[in-house]
């Protein structure tokens, strides 16, 4: 069993009734790692085991070079310096918002404090709530306070267990940007558990796909989502993630032009404008089934976004009717899912120059 | 209307109830916590033993205590060896008996309050760097406040109202073991109905005020 000190490692196993857990995670020491999978796949158990809240789970937990658990050691949760946000906000009902926030802060030695009180208030937008009791807050406000409370204990690792799952859609939309911002502004690695793909594509840097107590795939977000060997249950999520920047605003047609590319040339995509600012970054997700392929530049088409690309691989998927086409466009890999019939009709081959037609883009 | 003996009985009753309640809270809190956190075979046995005084006639408890605390009983020999003498027919004998008798009235509300808190606040506190001991005092006790108040009030009131156990273990010694309930019994035996009325009414009013206070004070911590 080798453990790389530059990574956050968790090698965990347990037999809990009918459910068996057997995972080996090597998560990057920075950024957001998302554990994604259906309910009951064991992702929450993994998170709780990392926090030290699941004594029945055995294994090795090594976080930021510190050994938290192995065959002989099990550091109790309060000495791990781990932060956890639960699905339910779980604020202390007997304490005001301010006292809830100070709970972890005052138990953190001065020398270890990395997040200031004011910083947490600003990041989560809760300065106006300090004197209230938890029962006087909305669900979204409670969860923001819970996140700030966890941050103020300056954890070496922040664990989030479906923090948005208990919220309705508008509250969810209100909280997601706060979470995205946390990742940008604080240098605290996060492990985020969810079964919602929109949260994955918006927040993740690193993705772990889980099913029935096992890790199905793990890796950097864009490459994992593009993998041809994704099992059927994850196949519908197969997609391309692009980080782009806003380069032009077209007021006449209410469109924004986004540029991407990492080979010096710029690829461009037009998307509906959405309060974009010039120079701003914008992450996109393009589903594999939303890219079609043409062998000529079909200007007589309603599809606006056509990208010149070169086929780098043709791969079978888990369903025989479909073929996965990987293309390089401006140094970026695009993944399209087409039918085997189309491949045969168009006589597509590796190395061929084609046009990738993007039918729909999700702005994240 | 209340004579000197009546006032002495009232004072003795309050002293007995206050002493019993204080010791009971210190004893029942860790016991109730342990019972709330354990579902094992041992917890069930201890739980049943704690609840026994609820169903046993007070005379049975008093009888066994009298034997155990007597010169030939195990506890009696222990107290003698410790230089405490024999406890039956003393104030501290009454305290011991009251603690046993009122134990379920202290343990049960505490146990329910602790169980209602659940595991989550403890897990949250642990991930906020609070040790288990720290968590008990900063999270568990404040959240269990309604249960603690109920336990205290019920212990106090139940001790004030006990009669059978007192008579068995304490007898009827003025200023030492003659509490209000025994004093009322004496008045009735002596056909002093006016005196009995006064004390009985005082007890009735007291009990009512206690229960009223319990309902008014005991606003639960609003759950979320």
Tell me what the pLDDT averaged over chain B comes to. 90
User: Which helix (H) or strand (E) is A194 found in, with range?
Assistant: strand A190-194
- Which pLDDT tens digit goes with each residue over B55-98? 999 989 999 999 999 999 899 999 999 888 888 899 999 999 99
Q: Which residue in chain A is spatially nearest to B133 when comparing CA positions?
A: A78
C-alpha to C-alpha distance for A330 and B24, rounded to whole angstroms: 77
Q: What number is the ipTM of this complex? A: 0.81
Interface test with A, best of B121, B123, B126, B129 (most A CBs within 10 A): B129
Which residues on A lie below 8 Å from B37 (Cβ)? none
pTM above 0.95, yes or no: no
Which residues on A lie below 8 Å from B144 (Cβ)? none
Q: Give B138 to chain A, closest Cα distance, Å.
A: 9
Q: Which residue in chain A is spatially nearest to B143 when comparing CA positions?
A: A94
C-alpha to C-alpha distance for B28 and A261, rounded to whole angstroms: 69
> Averaged over B132-149, what is the pLDDT?
94
pLDDT at res. B221: 52
A111 touches B: beta carbon within 8 Å = no
Neighbours of A175 (CB within 10 A): 21
CB contact under 8 A, B138 and A103: yes
Which residues on B lie below 8 Å from A154 (Cβ)? none
Interface test with B, best of A102, A104, A109 (most B CBs within 10 A): A104
* Of residues B175 and B144, more confidently modeled: B144
Could you give the 3-state DSSP secondary structure of residue A240? strand
CB contact under 8 A, A90 and B120: yes
Interface test with B, best of A68, A76, A77 (most B CBs within 10 A): A77
CB contact under 8 A, A53 and B224: no
pLDDT at res. B220: 58
A94 touches B: beta carbon within 8 Å = yes
A140 touches B: beta carbon within 8 Å = no
Residue B49 reports pLDDT greater than 60: yes
pLDDT at res. A146: 95
C-alpha to C-alpha distance for B159 and B95, rounded to whole angstroms: 9
pLDDT at res. B222: 53
CB contact under 8 A, A76 and B126: yes
> Averaged over B121-150, what is the pLDDT?
95
* Of residues A324 and B217, more confidently modeled: A324
Look at residues A196, A197, A200 and name the one whose alpha carbon lies nearest to residue A33. A200
Interface test with A, best of B127, B138, B222 (most A CBs within 10 A): B127
> Averaged over B180-197, what is the pLDDT?
91
C-alpha to C-alpha distance for A107 and A97, rounded to whole angstroms: 16
Q: Please report which residue ranges of chain B form alpha helices under DSSP H.
A: 4-37, 41-55, 58-69, 74-81, 91-117, 120-127, 132-135, 141-143, 145-160, 164-170, 180-189, 193-217
Q: How many CB pairs under 8 A join A and B?
A: 79
pLDDT at res. B112: 94
Residue B25 reports pLDDT greater than 70: yes
C-alpha to C-alpha distance for A276 and A279, rounded to whole angstroms: 9
Look at residues A220, A241, A358 and name the one whose alpha carbon lies nearest to residue A289. A358
Average pLDDT, 10 consecutive residues per value, chain A (364 residues): 60 86 89 90 92 91 89 91 93 95 94 90 91 92 94 93 86 82 84 88 89 89 80 78 87 88 79 84 87 84 86 85 88 88 89 88 80
């Amino acid at each position: 069993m080798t453990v790389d000190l530059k990574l956050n490692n968790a090698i965990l196993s347990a037999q809990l009734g009918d459910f068996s857990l057997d995972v080996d995670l090597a998560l990057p020491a920075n950024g957001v790692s998302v554990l994604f999978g259906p309910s009951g796949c064991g992702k929450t158990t993994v998170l709780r085991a990392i926090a030290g809240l699941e004594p029945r789970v055995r294994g090795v937990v090594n976080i930021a070079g510190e050994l938290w658990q192995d065959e002989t050691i099990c550091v109790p949760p309060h000495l791990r310096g781990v932060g956890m946000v639960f699905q339910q906000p779980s604020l202390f009902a007997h304490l005001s918002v301010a006292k809830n926030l100070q709970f972890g802060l005052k138990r953190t030695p001065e020398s270890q404090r990395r997040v200031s009180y004011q910083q947490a208030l600003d990041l989560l937008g809760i300065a106006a709530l300090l004197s209230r009791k938890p029962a006087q807050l909305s669900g979204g406000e409670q969860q923001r306070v819970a996140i700030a409370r966890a941050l103020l204990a300056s954890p070496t690792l922040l664990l989030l267990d479906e923090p948005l799952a208990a919220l309705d859609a508008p509250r969810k939309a209100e909280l997601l940007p706060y979470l995205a911002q946390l990742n940008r502004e604080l240098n605290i690695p996060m492990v985020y558990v969810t079964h919602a793909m929109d949260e994955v594509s918006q927040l993740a840097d690193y993705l772990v796909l889980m099913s029935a107590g096992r890790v199905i795939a793990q890796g950097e977000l864009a490459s994992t989502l593009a993998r041809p060997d994704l099992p059927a249950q994850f196949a519908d999520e197969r997609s391309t993630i692009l980080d782009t920047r806003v380069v032009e605003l077209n007021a006449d047609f209410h469109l924004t032009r986004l540029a991407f590319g990492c080979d010096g040339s710029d690829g461009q995509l037009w998307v509906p404008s959405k309060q974009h600012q010039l120079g701003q970054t914008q992450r996109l997700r393009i589903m594999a089934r939303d890219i079609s392929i043409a062998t000529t530049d079909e200007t007589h088409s309603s599809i606006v976004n056509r990208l010149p690309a070169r086929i780098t691989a043709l791969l079978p998927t888990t369903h025989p009717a479909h073929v996965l086409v990987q293309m390089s466009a401006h140094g970026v890999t695009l993944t399209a899912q087409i039918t085997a019939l189309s491949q045969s009709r168009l006589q597509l081959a590796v190395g061929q120059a084609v046009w990738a037609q993007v039918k729909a883009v999700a702005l994240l | 209307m209340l004579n000197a003996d009546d006032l002495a009985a009232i004072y003795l009753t309050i002293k007995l109830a206050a002493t019993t309640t204080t010791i009971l809270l210190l004893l029942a809190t860790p016991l109730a916590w342990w019972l709330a956190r354990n579902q094992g075979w041992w917890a069930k046995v201890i739980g049943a033993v704690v609840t026994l005084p609820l169903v046993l006639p007070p005379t049975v408890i008093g009888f066994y205590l009298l034997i155990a605390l007597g010169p030939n009983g195990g506890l009696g020999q222990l107290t003698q060896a410790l230089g405490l003498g024999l406890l039956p027919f003393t104030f501290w004998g009454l305290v011991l008996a009251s603690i046993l008798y009122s134990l379920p009235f202290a343990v049960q509300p505490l146990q329910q309050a602790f169980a209602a808190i659940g595991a989550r606040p403890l897990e949250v506190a642990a991930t906020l760097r609070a040790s288990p001991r720290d968590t008990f005092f900063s999270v568990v006790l404040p959240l269990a406040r309604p249960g603690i108040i109920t336990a205290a009030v019920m212990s106090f009131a139940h001790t004030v109202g006990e009669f059978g156990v007192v008579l068995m273990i304490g007898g009827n010694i003025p200023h030492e073991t003659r509490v209000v309930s025994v004093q009322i019994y004496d008045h009735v035996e002596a056909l002093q109905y006016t005196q009995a009325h006064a004390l009985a009414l005082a007890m009735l009013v007291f009990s009512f005020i206690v229960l009223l206070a319990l309902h008014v004070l005991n606003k639960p911590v609003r759950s979320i």
